[in-house]
Amino acid sequence: MSDRKVAVVTGASSGMGLATAREMARRGHDLVLSSRRPEVAADEIRSAFGVRVEAVAGGIAEPDLAARLAAAAQEMGGARALLLNHGGPPVKPMMALTDEDWSGAFETMVVGPLRVMRALVPQMQAAAGGRVLAISSFTVKAPWAGIGLSNALRAALVNALKTAALELGPEGGILVNALAPGYVETDRIRDWNDSYARQENVGVEEIRARTLATIPLRRYGTPEGYARLAAFLLSEENDYVSGQQILYDGGLVVAN
Ligand SMILES: NC(=O)c1ccc[n+]([C@@H]2O[C@H](COP(=O)([O-])OP(=O)(O)OC[C@H]3O[C@@H](n4cnc5c(N)ncnc54)[C@H](OP(=O)(O)O)[C@@H]3O)[C@@H](O)[C@H]2O)c1
């Protein structure tokens, strides 16, 4: 066991989850990394940063994942920070969504993340403090057509986390937040742009230009920029932000 603090990151093998895992390692945390295929990311971070990294393979909705993450974190000394992340749900219009779509996405986007949080918070309570953060989306505040599962279920998770912030703050200094990306340049957003370009029969540069025109900073966010803010919120430098959904979106959503 080392005296470094332990961070658990789900959805850690690419995009913002991977960037946040790297930033936490750069700041000297030992890591428990999880996703369906976490090994490549774990090997890369272990050799780049010289911290201890345990890879726990599994989808966030798998019922036994939470216990496996808790066991791995406990063996390293107990979790002090938790980033909840996973892939986005299927894209379908509201009238095409079935009961099975809703219940499957509910397991992945709400039940699974909350089960993981419940499994790890006792370790933070034992250490008299901790930080929980979930990756959400700007579409919680400004819903888009076609992604009803994401709009609705991320909002449910964010309000569940706000409730946890109210309940866990007084019980030992656990700060709970969500960090919502706007457009962040990851593989997911590149795939997204490609599929819109095909749908609309225009070039991908046209789709990019249309998107950039809506962002006050006129550029996409970076996984590394997201990760710096996430790592701040997951650290003790964050001594007073809790129960919030913060936007990393270049000024895209200015609504309260
Ligand atoms: N990029 C953006 O601009 C943007 C904007 C708004 C919201 N978001 C949301 O932010 C989250 C992260 O986005 P990203 O762009 O960083 O995505 P990404 O690059 O596609 O990464 C998603 C990560 O989640 C893992 N994952 C997928 N399904 C999982 C599951 N069922 N359980 C556990 N892990 C799972 C993937 O690894 P494995 O394949 O190994 O499981 C991968 O590590 C997503 O939910 C996305 O919808 C992104």
Q: pLDDT by residue (tens digit) across 87-138?
A: 999 999 999 999 999 999 999 999 999 999 999 999 999 999 999 999 999 9
Give the model confidence (pLDDT) of 181-197 as tens digits.
Answer: 999 999 988 888 998 89
Q: CATH 3.40.50.720 residue ranges in the chain?
A: 6-183+221-248
Q: Mean pLDDT score of the chain, rounded to an integer?
A: 96
Distance 44 CA to ligand 1 centre (A): 18
- pLDDT at site 147: 95
According to CATH, the topology of domain 6-183+221-248 is: Rossmann fold (3.40.50)
Query: Given the CA of residue 150, which atom of ligand 1 is nearest to it?
Result: 47
Contact 149, 92 (CB under 8 A): yes
* pTM flag (> 0.95): yes
Give the mean model confidence (pLDDT) for residues 199-209: 94
CA atoms within 13 A on the CB side of 10: 28
CA 208 vs. chain centroid, Å, equals 24
pLDDT in tens, 170-180: 977 999 999 99
CA distance 189 to 213: 16
The protein residue with its alpha carbon nearest to ligand 1, atom 7, reads 137
Distance CA 140, CA 62 (A): 25
Pseudo-torsion of CA 98, 100, 101, 104, nearest 10°? 170
The residue to which tokens 């063996």 are assigned:
75
Which of the listed residues 9, 36, 189, 211 should we mutate to test ligand 1's pocket, taking the one with most ligand atoms within 8 A of CB? 36
Which of the listed residues 9, 10, 14 should we mutate to test ligand 1's pocket, taking the one with most ligand atoms within 8 A of CB? 14
The closest of 105, 243, 222 to 163, measured between CA atoms, is 243
Angle between helix axes 223-233 and 15-26 (nearest 10 degrees) is: 60
